[in-house]
């Protein structure tokens, strides 16, 4: 998603964006709510009547601003259709008339909200910053050339190209070659640190012909150890060395077809969500007083600042009931404010579907709260007495 402008003052305002990938329609679906205003280009069929009484119809492209009343997202085609009333004077559409807009790739739209809450703003950052959703990074290299790429489910983007002339290695004097190679390795290492978000990326491929990848990886680990660069050392296990025929971008295709790489990448898809959900189920079995699900229990745990990790489905933030949406946004914010961690699950992933079966919200607690179970027992006794 391309961010064109952002004009928000005291929580309300507009953001103009341009969808560039099919995945961007999913982000738009999570952003747009009933009652929002959408301004976008659309096709309108217009009837023209001649002086003789005959009429002809033409299709014209015009820009409309609709107050959204219905949102329809096609998960298979990744298409987003919005329906609402026209609220801005237009030559072709009367004020208050209903119209439908299909958001299109590479055509910008402006979204205006009465209130941009933390969840909506976080979604904009996620959609517009490729480093927020790139599970895999790749460094395709040979001596003197390297391409640092980020890979999402829908696109690959080159974040940096490093091109350096390295003196040829000679029999009697190889020092110039070694110095050039060291300088090149340092530049690649800096590029990785600058462009790879280690908090998000779960796998970093280092690919090259021959032993360039091995020599570079050894250099990087030795340098990081000597200079105490923890970001590299702490993420050493994420690096994977793979063969490539060259250091140019087109070699990435063969790298991604490597069976070992495919296996590794399949593990990274929604890996964070799966890991957190497994941790919740494990806690539920081993220490049930530290694992709860359902809005009522989780809310009480949040009020006690007991939540270590909040698991919440993005479905809950699409709630058409504004009051309920605000309640879930507040729960999200309160956990972060108390130093907890929040994982928003995509309803498009299997783990998100599993969480939905647990009401869509669950929590792992910092300490046991058996009184939450006691509350249920008391309620059951009261209902039996009635």
Q: Are residues 255 and 283 in the same domain?
A: no
**pLDDT confidence bin for 128, thresholds 50/70/90:** confident
> Given this model, what pLDDT does residue 383 score?
47
Q: Are residues 253 and 151 in the same domain?
A: yes
The runs of H, that is alpha helices, within 111-251 are 118-128, 175-195, 212-226, 230-233
Residue 308 sits in a domain whose CATH number is: 3.30.1330.30
**pLDDT confidence bin for 346, thresholds 50/70/90:** confident
Cα–Cα distances (Å) from 201 to 93, 130, 196, 235, in that order, read 47, 11, 7, 10
Q: What is the mean pLDDT of residues 140-167?
A: 87
Give the start-end residues of each E strand in 10-134: 12-18, 37-49, 55-74, 79-86, 98-102, 109-113
State how many domains the chain has.
Answer: 3
Could you report the per-residue pLDDT of 69-114, keeping only the tens digit for each? 999 998 777 789 999 999 998 988 899 999 999 998 999 999 999 9
Which residue range(s) make up the domain with 222?
132-268
Q: What is the mean pLDDT of the chain?
A: 88
Q: Are residues 257 and 281 in the same domain?
A: no
Residue 215 sits in a domain whose CATH number is: 3.30.420.60
Residue 61 sits in a domain whose CATH number is: 2.30.30.870
> Given this model, what pLDDT does residue 380 score?
47
Percent of the chain with pLDDT over 70: 90
CB 347 within 8 A of CB 314: yes
Q: Are residues 187 and 307 in the same domain?
A: no
**Which residue in 171, 136, 360 sits closest to 268, CA to CA?**
136
Q: What is the mean pLDDT of residues 338-355?
A: 86
> Given this model, what pLDDT does residue 134 score?
67
> Given this model, what pLDDT does residue 77 score?
76
Q: 62 versus 379: which is more confidently predicted?
A: 62
| Residue that is last in its domain, among 128, 149, 168 | 128
Q: Which residues are paired to 31 by β-bridges?
A: none
Residue 308 has pLDDT above 60, yes or no: yes
230 class by beta-carbon count within 10 Å (0-12 exposed, 13-18 middle, 19+ buried): exposed
Q: Are residues 249 and 211 in the same domain?
A: yes
Q: Are residues 157 and 252 in the same domain?
A: yes
Q: Are residues 34 and 162 in the same domain?
A: no
Q: Are residues 31 and 109 in the same domain?
A: yes
Q: Are residues 66 and 172 in the same domain?
A: no
**pLDDT confidence bin for 272, thresholds 50/70/90:** low
| Residue that is last in its domain, among 63, 94, 128 | 128
229 class by beta-carbon count within 10 Å (0-12 exposed, 13-18 middle, 19+ buried): middle
Cα separation of 221 and 238, whole Å? 13
Q: What is the mean pLDDT of residues 327-350?
A: 91
Could you report the per-residue pLDDT of 243-271, keeping only the tens digit for each? 999 999 889 888 887 888 877 766 555 55
**pLDDT confidence bin for 133, thresholds 50/70/90:** low
Residue 138 has pLDDT above 50, yes or no: yes
3-state SS, residue 270: coil
DSSP state at residue 167: P
- Find all residues with CB under 8 Å of 21, minimum gap 6, and list them: 1, 105, 154, 155
Record the tokens describing residue 375, joined without a space: 């509350």
> Given this model, what pLDDT does residue 258 score?
82
Q: Are residues 202 and 328 in the same domain?
A: no
> Given this model, what pLDDT does residue 136 score?
86
């Amino acid at each position: 998603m391309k961010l064109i402008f952002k004009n928000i003052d005291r929580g309300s305002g507009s953001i103009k964006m341009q969808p560039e990938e099919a995945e961007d329609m999913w982000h738009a679906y999570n952003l747009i709510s009933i009652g929002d205003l959408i301004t976008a280009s659309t096709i309108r069929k217009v009837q023209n009547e001649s002086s003789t009484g005959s009429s002809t119809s033409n299709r014209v492209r015009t820009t409309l601003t609709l107050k959204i009343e219905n949102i329809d997202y096609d998960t298979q085609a990744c298409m987003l259709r919005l329906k609402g009333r026209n609220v801005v004077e237009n030559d072709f559409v009367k004020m208050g008339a209903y119209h439908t807009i299909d958001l299109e790739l590479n055509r910008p739209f402006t979204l205006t909200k009465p209130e941009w809450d933390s969840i909506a703003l976080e979604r904009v950052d996620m959609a517009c910053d490729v480093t927020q959703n790139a599970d895999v990074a790749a460094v395709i290299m040979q001596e003197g050339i390297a391409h640092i790429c980020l890979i999402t489910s829908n696109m690959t983007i080159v974040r940096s190209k490093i091109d350096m002339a390295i003196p040829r290695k000679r029999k009697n004097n190889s020092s110039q070659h070694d110095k050039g190679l060291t300088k090149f390795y340092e530049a690649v290492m800096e590029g990785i640190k600058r462009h790879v978000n280690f908090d998000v990326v779960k796998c970093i491929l280092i690919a090259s012909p021959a032993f360039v990848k091995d020599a570079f990886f050894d250099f990087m680990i030795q340098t990081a150890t000597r200079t105490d660069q923890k970001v590299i050392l702490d993420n050493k296990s994420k690096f994977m060395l793979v063969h490539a025929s060259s250091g140019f971008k087109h070699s990435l295709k063969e790298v991604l077809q490597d069976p070992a790489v495919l296996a590794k990448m399949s593990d990274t898809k929604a890996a964070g969500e799966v890991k957190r959900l497994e941790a919740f189920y494990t806690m539920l079995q081993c220490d049930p007083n530290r694992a709860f699900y359902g809005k009522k229990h989780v809310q009480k745990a949040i009020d006690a600042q007991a939540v270590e990790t909040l698991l919440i489905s993005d479905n809950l933030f699409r709630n058409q009931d504004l009051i309920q949406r605000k309640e879930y946004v507040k729960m999200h914010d309160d956990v972060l404010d108390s130093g907890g961690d929040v994982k928003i699950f995509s309803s498009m992933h299997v783990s998100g579907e599993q969480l939905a079966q647990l009401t869509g919200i669950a929590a792992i607690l910092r300490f046991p709260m058996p009184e939450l179970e006691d509350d249920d027992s008391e309620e059951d006794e009261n209902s039996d007495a009635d």
